[in-house]
Amino acid sequence: MSFSPEFMDELRDRLRLSDVVGRKVKLIRKGREFSGLCPFHSEKSPSFTVNDDKHFYHCFGCGAHGDAIRFLTEAEGLPFREAVERLAGEAGLALPQERPEERAQQERRAGLHDVNEAAAKWYESQLWTPGGRDALAYLRKRGLSEATIRAFRIGFAPAARTALRDGLQARGMTLELMEEAGLLIAPEGERDRFDRFRNRVMFPILDNRGRVVAFGGRALDDAPAKYLNSPETPLFHKGRMLYNLFGARGAARDRGQIIVVEGYMDVISLAQAGFPEAVAPLGTALTEDQIAELWRVAPEPILCFDGDNAGRRAAARGLERALPHLKPGHSLRFAVLPQGEDPDSFVQTEGADAFTALLKGGQGLADMLWAGLMESHPTDTPERRAGFERAVYDAIARIGDAKVKRFYEMEFKDRMAALFRPQRPAAANSYQGGGARAGGQASRPRTGGAAKGRGRPQTVWDRRDDPVAARLSSARLKGTALGHDDSASRGRLREGLLVLCAISHPLLLDRHGEELMAVEFENRDLDKLRAEIIRIAASEPGLDMTRMRDHLSRTGFGRLLDSLNVLLVRDWFSRPEAAQVDAESGWRHVMALHQRSLSLERELKQVEDELAREFTDDAFSRLQALKKQLDESEGHEANLAGFGIASGRGTTG
């Protein structure tokens, strides 16, 4: 039923909003307002205010805003009508009289709730009978405990054609109500209705108040449809609902995150492993309505889909759906699973800590969008660069919010400038070699641009092909900065890689910060950058890539970051779009090469000093051997099992 504006105004006037909100939020009076920690997102300092005079609450952190009715619908998941009824009861305000047709509709909906609840209980009971033995064995084989099975009210639909129908009829439920609830099928031209779900493991689907409104069934035989959901009903609209949202909402708000996965078993396995904030769409791609539901719970839902082509397509569709609806403070993040894994298998084989690391290493929507555009649009010619630029601005044009659109334009304009910016020639003294070489020659500034016919001096960051690269037999590491030019330039490239990879994947600093801090850096600018990222990571636990880059840009490292992004563009594992596991494998490999090369360089310097003092055949032989080892170390085979697979790079990278 509808309520008149006059009734709604009187309802608001009779209530004190701080009393309604204060039942869920600890409020402290500050003048004419109250403040507290926002119930709609995780925060440590209060940004949530309540104004009784103006009848609204507002959060300056996540933008949540509304009145008492909106608070109940958002914080407790009540439907609008039920929120009004509850508040009217508290205020002692009589509800307007319902029209007869509205009363009949409410009674019909109540009947549908009753029949769905009865079906859920019946399915549950069947799981624990001898007939449910195979279904129970399947669930236990999937690693579910009895406590988890009961918590999610998982059941079993027998194979008999009318088992549920007969069971519910015996409890007084009508065939018409069962059919309207989607539990029975009535074939056209036939009078005999039969069960929709047969020989399936049954997952009840709850609404925002915890009431059973539909079911999903997983076949135990070779049925054409492995998974089958209830049809649309007056209670169930699959494009608006999310599996387990009722169960996940509290944990998601407490933790400040909600995880979106593909299927029922993913949700249930994650909950059992300690991630109760997981939900799943109901057999469809993520819809605009579902994204809006997610944003009511957490400002940046994490999409964690299977590590196969279908999973990547699902993530891409989620991005496309979200793009027009982005708003300040609200976006999506993406956690990419290794190839062949789903959240269920990953958390059971790798454990909760690995899954937490996967979530922390997730990419923001901007990074995911950029990576997709880079993958689908080559930029190796002026025409293709122009096409790439057009695709970038076409994507940005789909963003509805003007402020968000403006910041995307600024961000992607900077990225394109860094991507397309030509390298600048270095001064002749940009690099000085380290000591006398065999034969007593002093080192000279390394220019050598004309030597390879490129017509410009070589900077310390120049990228040149070298036969050493051919010795990188790990196909997924070919074409990176690990095998180009002289060892000094390569050393600086490795220093840049170590820093850039840590910036793109700050979780590396949690695990390898001490190692990065201890290793020797030759380039002063990179040494300063390294010191700053270690300092900021230590002072701000949980720092993500975006905040890290913003901080570095504000503190004068922006130009150096741009140079690193361009000059190391081929080193894909240092990019934000690389999977955390690949970034860590690549980083550790570069660190090992760098430490090995530094050790050899020190030995080489000692031998050179010996030769400078006195030439001996023994010292000269050691010099040649060390040079050979140094060259070989630059081309050392990575041999990293599975490297690149988690980032979707297959086996040829």
Q: What is the DSSP string of 263-275?
A: SHHHHHHHHHTT-
pLDDT tier at 611, thresholds 50, 70, 90: confident
Alpha helices in 377-505 (DSSP H): 382-397, 402-420, 487-504
What are the φ/ψ torsions at residue 497 (nearest 5 degrees)? -65, -45
Query: Rounded to whole angstroms, how far apart are CA atoms 535 and 56?
Result: 41
Give the DSSP H or E segment for 511. helix 507-518
Retrieve residue 553's tokens. 């840009």
Instruction: Name which of 21-30, 68-77, 305-314, 623-632 the model is least confident about.
Output: 623-632
Q: Region 587-592: what's the mean pLDDT?
A: 84
Retrieve residue 547's tokens. 């905040």
Report the DSSP pairing between strands 33-36 and 48-51: antiparallel
Percent of the chain scored above 90 by pLDDT?
40
Cβ-based neighbours of 539, under 8 Å, separated by 6 or more: none
**566, amino acid identity:** V
Q: Region 424-448: what's the mean pLDDT?
A: 34
Instruction: Name which of 133-147, 278-292, 511-525, 601-615 the model is least confident about.
Output: 601-615
pLDDT tier at 541, thresholds 50, 70, 90: confident
Angle at 325 between CA 366 and CA 398, to 5 degrees: 70
Contacts 24+ apart (CB under 8 A), 58-61: 61/329
Q: Region 386-409: what's the mean pLDDT?
A: 95
pLDDT tier at 355, thresholds 50, 70, 90: very high
- Say if residue 202's pLDDT is above 60: yes
Report the DSSP pairing between strands 278-279 and 259-260: parallel
Q: Region 437-441: what's the mean pLDDT?
A: 33
- Say if residue 474's pLDDT is above 50: no
- How much is the pTM? 0.60
Q: Region 8-31: what's the mean pLDDT?
A: 89
Percent of the chain scored above 70 by pLDDT?
84
Q: Which of 608, 600, 548 is nearest to 576 (CA)?
A: 548
Retrieve residue 148's tokens. 């988890």
**Helix, strand, coil shares, percent, the chain, to 5:** 50, 10, 40
- 45 or 470: which leads in pLDDT: 45
What are the φ/ψ torsions at residue 124 (nearest 5 degrees)? -60, -45
The residues facing 206 across adjacent strands are 212
CB 181 within 8 A of CB 115: yes
Look at residue 641 in the predicted model and tell me its pLDDT: 45
Q: Which of 81, 122, 121 is nearest to 102 (CA)?
A: 81
- 389 or 490: which leads in pLDDT: 389
Q: Region 68-94: what's the mean pLDDT?
A: 87
CA distances from residue 550 to 121, 323, 405, 533, 630 in whole angstroms, order as listed = 53, 22, 18, 12, 37
pLDDT tier at 629, thresholds 50, 70, 90: low
CB 227 within 8 A of CB 239: no
Retrieve residue 159's tokens. 């194979």
